[in-house]
Structure 1
């Protein structure tokens, strides 16, 4: 049987908090890409780009693509996407949030969406849609 190019969304109704988290992850991916592009644009008027600006813009581009891909996997109901997005959120948002700079809004969106993914209704949804594999006995 041929697998479709894009996986189908499960028939189980999605809890409201998880649906909001899915939208926020896509928004975070767009914001990451936008902040990275704006950072390059902001530093392009100087004679040369410094390494820090290029590295941060590259980090934002990678984080934006990861948010988009993992957000899609969360949309189709994969449990592993929730775990990966949690780690991505903690690793990227915590330093951004602690600096209280211009990226703190993005960090707050990410931390809020991480919290929404772990509500009790979301946990029940993932137990139905993507159950953990059974442990093998030795």
Structure 2
């Protein structure tokens, strides 16, 4: 099995892995995400991936099924994932804050994603963290 197929298989296993939260979009909760931000280490749906593409300095996206994934990127995704990102980027979400769901409009999702990753409004320590891959 070549690198391409091996890495695709590893990513698909990560999507199904119990205790990772990867089976749902990290941003809106849509089931069975097919995309991932390899700079943030999260699995996301098609709609949220479009928002992530708008800020390439923070997030870079690839299709889990269609794009080629280098070994290092797959390893990064293995060590991160949706629950770890949620613990980091959603540590201090106010109780009154509306978190968009899969059925909500794209504008609400974009506001949420920008607050979460671009402005880092809900991080526990409030410090900006440099993300590198």
Same fold (TM over 0.5): no
- Structure with bigger strand share is 2
Could you say which structure has the greater relative contact order, defined with CA pairs below 8 angstroms and 6 or more residues apart? 1
TM-score by length of 1: 0.28
Q: Could you state the TM-score of these two structures normalised by the residue count of structure 2?
A: 0.29
Q: Which has the higher helix share?
A: 1
